[in-house]
Amino acid sequence: MAKCLAIGCPSNSSHVQARLQESSYKLTRFMLMLLFVCQIYILLFDCMASCSKDSGQLDRVMTFHHYSAMFALEDVFFEIVSPEVLQYTYLIQVTRDFGTPFNFTLRGARLVPADPSFACGPLANCDDIEGGVAFVQRGDCPFVEKAMNAQLCGARAVLVFDDDPENVEHFIEMTSESKTMHPTIPAAFLLGKNGYVIMETLQRLRLSHAVINIPINASMYHIHERKQPPWVLW
């Protein structure tokens, strides 16, 4: 005790302060290492995407999107080739609850509005839809029923657009509780704003269909390289 009084013993607060400084230093060092690892990962990912793009590969690189769910972990896109006024890249969400994934690519396919538009019964324009992609409006009946009616017409896939013409961001998770309907074609959901613009444009131009490529490898490109609709922000 006499020695402590002579030279001065460290107080408890000094010990606490020293420990806090040491912990802060360790935390800072850890965060810097984590940031470095993340930067390396991003560089490697960009390099892989760039190499795949340059080599002309069509394989998709898995990316995660803020709309994704456990059963729909990747972004899927299609593009309209014609008419020119609709030549953009559109984001869709493919359901995994029924139907099948897009394990094939349709190029120059017809995107044909269903008649009637809700596709809750037999379609009157099966001849136009056969071999193409049925374009269906949400509402009046379950999603799986729409997909089934489109498949019965020979559609290769079905796109269901939301019935809210102002919806530019909220994707609906299409599910099925049916024990009797089991469609075997891909079914995907499209934002309402996109759907209504496409429908109104086709009607204004008096066109029976649009020409599309689906799916496309848009996730290989950075967001600023995609020609997205000016009325929708991804």
CA distances from 126 to 112, 210, 212 (A): 10, 16, 18
H helix or E strand, kind and range, residue 77: strand 76-82
Confidence of residue 153 (pLDDT cuts 50, 70, 90): very high
**Residue 162 near residue 191, CB atoms below 8 Å:** yes
Between 143 and 221, name the one with better pLDDT: 143
The tokens describing 132, both together, are 């193409």
pLDDT confidence of residue 3 = 47
Lowest mean pLDDT among 36-50, 84-98, 111-125: 36-50
For residue 160, pLDDT beyond 80: yes
Confidence of residue 114 (pLDDT cuts 50, 70, 90): very high
Report the pLDDT averaged over residues 79-100.
Answer: 93
Per residue in 172-225, pLDDT (tens digit) is: 889 888 889 999 999 999 999 999 999 999 999 999 999 999 999 866 655 555
pLDDT confidence of residue 6 = 47
Closest listed residue to residue 171, CA positions, set 65, 81, 99, 63: 65
Lowest mean pLDDT among 118-127, 144-153, 177-186: 177-186
pLDDT confidence of residue 218 = 66
Confidence of residue 67 (pLDDT cuts 50, 70, 90): very low
pLDDT confidence of residue 136 = 97
Residues whose CB is less than 8 angstroms from the CB of residue 169 and which lie 6 or more positions away in sequence, other chains included: 191, 232, 233
Q: Give residue 159's identity as a one-letter amino acid code.
A: L
Coil vs helix vs strand at 107: strand
Per residue in 13-35, pLDDT (tens digit) is: 566 566 666 666 667 667 767 76
Residue that the structure tokens 């538009």 belong to: 117
Report the pLDDT averaged over residues 63-81.
Answer: 57
Q: How far apart are CA 205 and CA 188, in angstroms?
A: 25
Question: What backbone torsions phi and psi does residue 145 show, to the nearest 5 degrees?
Answer: -70, -40
